[in-house]
A and B are shown apart, each in its own frame.
Chain A
Amino acid sequence: MSTGASSGGPVNRRHFLRQGARTAALAGGGVLLGLLVGRTSARGTVWQIDPQKCVRCGNCATSCVLKQSAVKCVHAFSMCGYCQLCTGYFEPAPNDLNTGAENCQCPTAAIRRTYVEDPYYEYTIDERLCIGCAKCVEGCNQFGNGSLFLQIRHDRCLNCNECAIAKVCAGDAFRRVPVNQPYLLKAISH
């Protein structure tokens, strides 16, 4: 390879080889892009949790790349029973039905309980405090209507190329959804 007759020889040959390789690379890249064009979504995607598949494992609170997870509990009020004994709010077999810390499930007190009228109470989530641990979601699903469920909140989500929680999701509930339909909400189905 290094036996060019003149000092100009190998340089020219190299130049030629390089040009050939470049053309080949461009052609290859073109083909690759051509293949990809059909598989391109003009509309981007974001990550979301399918609440029907969620198994409330608690990984959302711990596996997000953010210190305080982008996954939070949301409340479908249309499904809520406004129960006095809310199993999402209260621990199993609570000591008493009041807002004392010893009775409450939520580790960060992110659920607010407000009296509506006897015997109804409204439950709202304070998202600044919610860490997505799914304790209330589990309670509500096991004994209640399942009106509490987890969703990725897109005001916080960084939309990582690959969601770190999706990798460890026990229910395989994470998926990419079109950016114009970024939530998979529960509602009463008829």
Chain B
Amino acid sequence: MTTPGPRAAYWEYVDSLVLATALGTALWLIYTRRSRRGLIALSIFSLIYFGFYRKGCICSIGSVQNLAMALFDNGYAAPVSAIAFFALPVAVALFSGRAFCSGVCPHGALQDLILVKPLKVPTWLEQGLSVLPFIYLGAGVLFAATGTTFIICQYDPFVPIFRMSGRTFMVLSGVALLVLGMFVGRPYCRFLCPFGAILKLAGTVSARRVRVTPDLCTQCRLCEASCPFGAMRTPETGRPAPRDLPSERRQLTLALMVTPLLIFAGAWGGLKFSPTAAMLHPSVNLAHEFLANQGKPAPTGALSPADLELQRARQNPRETLVASAKVQHRFDMGTTLFGAWIGLVIGAKWISLRLRRTRTDYEPDRGDCVACARCFDYCPNELVRRGVISPVKEPATTTL
């Protein structure tokens, strides 16, 4: 019998190297070349290499789970590529924003390239949905750390497209998200992507940031509607009217006090959620099936996969229950933390929506900006700087 070998191990390092190079290129294109065209080219490359050639595996989005599992499961060692795919984009984001999202991530690249006519998502909806990635991240870590399943991988909408096959449901959800993505900019990145959530946090504290123009902002408002991803922020005074000051302070204090309560409530609710969540774990589910079918006759004839699984449990009833109990204890801890995390996310979001900002210029939000470089071309100062248009003396002939 033949034993065709798997992809050679060194390809892992090649992948990591390609990622590092792509990230470097992205940074250069964003900050030095400031070129949207260049980013489109990079997107197409990433889409082909990480997407269609590497079939979307390994990917940074899923690597979070590998790390979580490696931390909590002694029997599992995370591959080098998973660590590289997690650490490199985060490190870049901490210093220079979400360059990974701009054109290195095949998921981002795909959605960016298919965007045809972006519609503006109302701010309230955008903000309301923006908590989802964090919760998805929490759930992904919870289920990976408990060794249940990699939900982020199992429910990835685009990987079936890269593979050109997959479960019907996933293919359909991928197609649906793509059709939506033609009119809503990067729906997965903004409202679901758990790795995007991490990069958003990292980007918020990044040293360097993407600006519409490194030159002076003249507040011409031309870039106001340029961002299809709702990341453009308008100038703010940062100061409320004097009469509103006491009430806003009170509100903020209240929000700060309520957040710990939310965390506790979340933790409590999470603990209640533990038995249900644990059912997703194969060991617990098997124990459940085993107990539910105790005393019933063993099925005969052609056995279904479920019957065969049950048979396995019946051969080692004690082991089945002990394994299940172990997982359940893990889940108690896990769901408690997960609940607390949800509370924290809601509380933090609430507080951030209570804060006033001081901003003099039109600038992309540090966290939300995926560095796609679209807004650059909207800024007349930028175009002049890059020599695309010449500075004109008479204002009447320009678009202004």
Contact = CB atoms under 8 A, between A and B. Distances in A.
B79 to A, nearest CB: 5
B310 to A, nearest CB: 9
Contacts of A167: 149, 154, 282
A32 B362 CA distance: 36
Interface string B294-314: 000000000111101101100
A36 B78 contact: yes
Contacts of B82: 161
A180 interface: yes
Contacts, number: 159
A40 B305 contact: no
A167 B285 CA distance: 12
Contacts of B356: 1-2
B389 interface: no
B274 interface: no
A154 interface: yes
A65 B79 contact: no
A172 B282 contact: yes
Interface in A31-72: 32-33, 35-36, 39-46, 55-59, 65-67
Interface stretch (B57-65, B104-112, B129-137): B57-65
Nearest to B8: A179
Bin chain B's interface residue count: 35 or more
B57 A159 contact: yes
A10 interface: yes
B211 interface: no
Majority secondary structure of chain A interface residues (helix, strand, loop or mixed): loop
Given A10-B358, A39-B78, A159-B6, A67 B165 contact: yes
Nearest to A179: B9
A101 B256 CA distance: 74
B259 interface: no
A172 B323 CA distance: 13
B1 A4 contact: no
Given A7-B358, A40-B80, A160-B57, A155 B62 contact: no
A153 B80 contact: no
A185 B87 contact: no
A174 to B, nearest CB: 11
Contact of A170 (B59, B67, B306, B357): B306
A104 to B, nearest CB: 17
A59 B94 contact: no
Contacts of A40: 70, 77-80, 83
Given A159-B6, A179-B6, A29 B87 contact: yes
Contacts of B149: 162, 167
Given A36-B71, A40-B79, 4 more contacts: A3-B239, A32-B67, A65-B160, A67-B165
